[in-house]
Amino acid sequence: MCLSLCLASGLAAQQKPAAPDLQPVLAGLMKGKPGTVAVLDVASGKLIASWNLKLAAQRLAAPGSTVKPFVLDELLSTGKVRGEQRLVCRRPLYIAGRRMDCSHSPAITSLDAADAIAYSCNSYFAAVATQLSPQELEEVYRRAGFTSVTRLASSEVAGRISIAPSTGQLQLQALGDWGIEITPLELLSAYRNLALQKRRSHTALSAPVFAGLEHSVQYGMAHSAQPAGITAAGKTGTAAGRGTAHTHAFFAGYAPAEKPEIVLVVYLENGFGANAAAIAAPIFTAYVKQAHSAAHGAAR
């Protein structure tokens, strides 16, 4: 009896697909680039691969547009914004003395909620953010985990959020450009929670958030994250650090878009969101190739 159980256990272990080894992929993509990448298994929350994990745990940076899904989800869930409501994209866009024109094509003149995520429309979010009080926006970010360590690494630091003293600074904070600094690991954890919500039966109210994240990769501002052989969803972010005009870049997202299995964050000390998204694409592609190969090998 013991022998048969042991043999069965051993056979099951042999047939279980091996976890994809993404570490060499990260090393090749990040060689010579100042920044960090971290990849999680959505279901377990375990770290699959990482590059420069210390930086991911300790670098505080303005997250830029990567926070927009959390702002929109709050506005939709509280009924302050309707998903189908369209707003005109206004240019030039000045907020608190700063020019914050949208990066998307000027041909896109009006957007609904999903479009606003896909094209990362600053004008849309600057307008709808005024439906939140400074305290409500701070609470949105706290609930997202932007002031909490993730326990994915040792010696983590926690993010910082300020209460906006004016409407202009509230709008900039909703764009991730004022009064909020977070670590790449905090952003990764927040997007894992989005991925878990996607895996479950999310409400119809939050549907524009998930549609916007998918469209962002399909044809929007995060299009350079589009992998081969798999769907993905995610968001780019570009912001300048305090006291510098140089921009840093984020991409956070998950794949497959319909039922997420992995979630990742890419942070580059210099560059734009599209640069970070371009690093995510081959990681997603490598994951699906290795996962399918392992599953095929286990089935043989």
Q: Quick: pLDDT tens for 9-44.
A: 444 444 445 667 999 999 999 999 999 999 999 999
**In this model, does residue 174 exceed pLDDT 50?**
yes
**In this model, does residue 65 exceed pLDDT 70?**
yes
d(CA 182, CA 186): 6
**In this model, does residue 85 exceed pLDDT 50?**
yes
- Predicted local confidence at residue 244, as pLDDT: 72
20-299 to CATH, choices 3.30.420.40, 3.40.710.10, 3.30.70.260, 3.10.129.10: 3.40.710.10
Q: What is the mean pLDDT of residues 50-61?
A: 98
Query: What are the distances in angstroms from CA 147 to CA 57, 138, 171, 178, 198?
Result: 12, 10, 20, 15, 23
Annotated domain spans of the chain: 20-299
Write the CB contacts of 196 (distance below 8 Å, at least 6 apart in sequence).
Answer: 42, 260
173: tokens are 């904070």
Please give the torsion angle defined by the CA atoms of residues 181, 29, 22 and 235, in that order, rounded to the nearest 10 degrees.
40
Closest by CA to 22, choosing from 288, 294, 297, 286, is: 286
d(CA 48, CA 71): 28
